[in-house]
Chains A and B, each alone.
Chain A
Amino acid sequence: MAVVEQREQLVEGSPGRKPGSRSRWIALSLTLALVLLFPAIAVPIFDSYTYVIQVGMLVLMWISMSSSWNILGGFAGYISLGHGVFFAVGGYSAGLALAHWGISPFWFLPLAGLAAMFVGFLAGLITLRTRGPAFIVATIAMLFLFLLWFDNWEFIGASSGLDLPLFEFPVRWLKVPFYYAMALSAIGAVYLSYRVAHSKFGLGLRAISQDETKAEVAGINTRWYKVWAFALSAIFIGTAGAIYGYSLTHLRPLTFFAIAVAARMVLMAIIGGRGTVAGPVLGAILIIGVNEFAVRQMGESALNIVFTGAILVVALLFFPEGIVGSLRRAGKLPAFLDWD
């Protein structure tokens, strides 16, 4: 632990136990309470209750995914554009369990996470033999390989998809169980991200992202650190996939493998701040908020994907450190957002 505390002293603007730590805990408790009570609070406020809960579920889903992606892409600095694979592994493993053995995806959740982690571990073993741009290219190749396989695998319905039995629940409250399951996944992802950030393991990952050779010389087993980062980053993307797939009741490969899915995780983490705990959360809330607003105002259109791309380009050019990173550099990061 000594190492970690020393690092805390070193992180600019966040020396050890800082005065702001009380406001952090207050903010945390408030956020948690809001997340858990939201379905109840929303009843009298919003007319379109189902829609509101659905958006809440989406926000939680993307928090889960971008926080997870951030473990590999942010802390370790290995940018993967193939994490859609774990979304699919989670979605399809839970979907198959339901369709073939009648196990509810809600109970299957831990196994879906483990399945994704296992595939992530194997994928990490293979793709992490490369680095830099070659790694990015390798993850894209992985995504396409899996897509091709799923598209032609009759057992899981190939490209036409897999139908799941409906979830029996009063229609008005139908989305609520999905919301809570997703909340569980999101909380798990953020907690994992926090624990990684505050561990020797996370310290090692940051060292790798800065200079891999020096990290290796300093005695870090870079290979296993990276592979484990890859495996951990897959878990809560898998659980998110399981819940999301069930809420759709129809699984198609493209729902999970679409390059736009992978792109969004990356985008949210970068907008919020790569390599920070609060960054991906903030990014997810922001992007989904803006997106839902745009869809409501102008309808679903191809321009959405243009905005996704444009925001990514602008963020990279003008504030590559993201919101949290830029604020910290300016010394203006509010304490309740400082989780590193």
Chain B
Amino acid sequence: MQWVQVVVLGLLLGGVYAMMASGLTLLFGVMRVVNLAHAAFILVASYITYVLFENLALDPMVSLFVTLPLMFVMGVVLYLLLFPRLEDSPRYVEMTVLLTFGLALIVEGMLTFTFTGIFRSVRPEYATTSMNVGEIFLPTSQVYASLISFALLIGLWLVLRYTKTGTAIRATMQNRAAAQIVGVNVRRVSALAFGIGMALAGAAGSLLSFMFPFFPARHWQWIALLLALIVLGGMGSIKGAVIGALLLAVASAIVTFTIGPTWSPITFYLTLFVILLIRPQGLFGAKVRL
């Protein structure tokens, strides 16, 4: 029964991780950009949620409706400001990694400057309660966060599958040049994808704010974790990111349970390392040579 409990807790976390990672992997799929600032932007949304909760007592799940569109707009603007300039660079991929690295530093510094480095957390009522199903106990906050995450993921899937824009995005992911030939405005699609990725980061930030305490430098831990998830699933594959998230979340829950919480991050770093070395395309990766 204990093991069921561990696995269930892992799966609940995995749902949230999946949503955090889906934005990152979407961005890589469409633009070949490894956005090292993704987790930093997640934190931005966490802090917005924190401010809204402290000042207006706005429920973090409601502030989703603020952070999600806000971050979408921010994403589109950032894309238009920064990326078109780099498109012709012969070292596009490395340049964008360094660029997002710089962005992450800027965001981290501004957050530290505004909110200082101390731990913050958002504590609505359901942050401390739990439900019991039989002998298994489920923290209410994680159940809510997981449900919302899966709802958003299904929404993302529907958009990608059934709308014209979604088809354009998927076409660009498969083959940028070919998409351009059949008349997809690749730059517009990239801007949209950046926006969607950031919107997902925004939603993730609101959810994380009541699950874990956070401080500005926390995002390095998150980004390493997210990179591990999407590398495992195959960079650019959303299905892969979801499966990678669930697998690794369960694995790290098991490590926490058997060895101790100090060592649970090692699951992510080691996976990241090993997968990059033995199967760089990941479990479901497209045949992109990195």
The finding on whether chains A and B are genuine partners in a shared complex, rather than unrelated, reads yes
A132 touches B93 (CB 8 A): yes
> Which A-chain residue is minimally distant from B216 (CB atoms)?
A302
CA distance A144 to B223 in the complex (A): 11
Q: What 1/0 mask marks residues of chain A from 130 to 155 whose CB sits below 8 Å from any chain B CB? A: 11111011101110110010001000
Closest to A318 in B: B85
CB distance B98 to A137 under 8 Å? no
- B34 beta carbon closer than 8 Å to chain A: yes
Q: Cα distance A277–B273 when bound, in Å?
A: 32
Instruction: Tell me how many residues of B have a C-beta within 8 Å of chain A.
Output: 44
Instruction: Select B105's contact among A132, A301, A309, beta carbons within 8 Å.
Output: A309
On whether the beta carbons of B82 and A313 are closer than 8 Å, the reply is yes
B94 close to A132 (CB less than 8 A): yes
Partner of A141, one of B94, B112, B272: B272
Is there contact, CB below 8 Å, between A79 and B98?
Answer: yes
Task: Tell me whether B98 and A301 are in contact (CB under 8 A).
Answer: no
Looking at A95-103, A109-117, A183-191, A259-267, the stretch in contact with chain B turns out to be: A259-267
Instruction: Give the distance to chain B from A90, nearest Cβ to Cβ, in Å.
Output: 22
Report the separation of the CA atoms of residues A263 and B97 in the bound assembly, to the nearest whole angstrom.
Answer: 12
Residues of B close to A263: CB separation below 8 A: 101, 105
Q: Is the CB of A309 within 8 A of B290?
A: no
A-B contact count (CB 8 A): 129
B218 to chain A, nearest CB (A): 12
Contact of B82 among A77, A81, A302, A317 (CB under 8 A): A317
Q: A142-B273, A144-B269, A317-B82 are in contact. Are A137 and B34 (CB under 8 A)?
A: yes
Chain A residues whose C-beta falls within 8 Å of the C-beta of B82 in the assembled complex: 313, 317
Question: Quick check: B93 and A130 within 8 Å, CB to CB?
Answer: no
Contact of B276 among A138, A148, A260 (CB under 8 A): A138
Kindly state the interface size class of chain A when it binds its partner: 35 or more
Question: 1/0 per residue A277-321: CB within 8 Å of B?
Answer: 000000000000000000000000111111111111100110010
Q: Is the interface of A mostly helix, strand, loop or mixed?
A: helix
Interface residue B110 (Cβ < 8 Å from any Cβ of A): yes
Q: How far is the CB of A166 from chain B (nearest CB, A)?
A: 30
Q: Within 8 Å CB of A129, what residues of B?
A: 276-277
Answer whether residue B95 sits at the interface, using C-beta atoms and an 8 A cutoff.
Answer: yes
> What is the bound-complex CA distance between A79 and B97, given in angstroms?
10
Question: When the two chains form their complex, are residues A134 and B113 in contact, meaning their CB atoms are under 8 A apart?
Answer: no
Q: Is the interface of B mostly helix, strand, loop or mixed?
A: helix
Instruction: Give min CB distance, B40 to chain A, whole Å.
Output: 10
How far apart are B286's CB and chain A's nearest CB, in angstroms? Answer: 14
CB contact under 8 A between A144 and B265, given known A130-B277, A137-B231, A309-B102 = yes
- Residue on A nearest B221 in the bound complex, by CB: A144
> Which residues of chain B are within 8 angstroms of A302 by Cβ–Cβ distance?
109-110, 112-113, 117, 216
Give A303 to B114 CA distance when docked, in angstroms. Answer: 10
Other-chain residue from A81, A148, A270 in contact with B269 (beta carbon distance below 8 A): A148
A134 in contact with B227 (CB, 8 Å): no
Contact between chains at B266 and A133 (CB < 8 Å): no
- The residue of chain A having its C-beta at the shortest distance from the C-beta of B85 within the complex is A317
B224 & A316 in contact (Cβ 8 Å cutoff): no
Chain A positions within 8 Å of B105 at CB level: 260, 263, 305-306, 308-309, 312
Contact B102 A145 (CB under 8 A): no
Q: Out of A131, A305, A307, A312, which one reaches B108, CB within 8 Å?
A: A305
A313 near B113: Cβ-Cβ < 8 Å: no
B224–A313 contact, CB under 8 A? no
Residues of chain A having any CB pair with chain B under 8 Å: 77, 79, 81, 126, 129-134, 136-138, 140-142, 144-145, 148, 152, 259-260, 263, 266, 270, 301-313, 316-317, 320
| Further contacts, 12 of them, CB under 8 A, given A137-B276, A313-B103, A320-B89 | A79-B94, A79-B98, A133-B34, A133-B290, A137-B34, A137-B227, A138-B276, A152-B262, A307-B109, A309-B108, A316-B98, A316-B99
The 3 closest A-B pairs by CB, nearest first: A309-B105, A306-B109, A312-B102
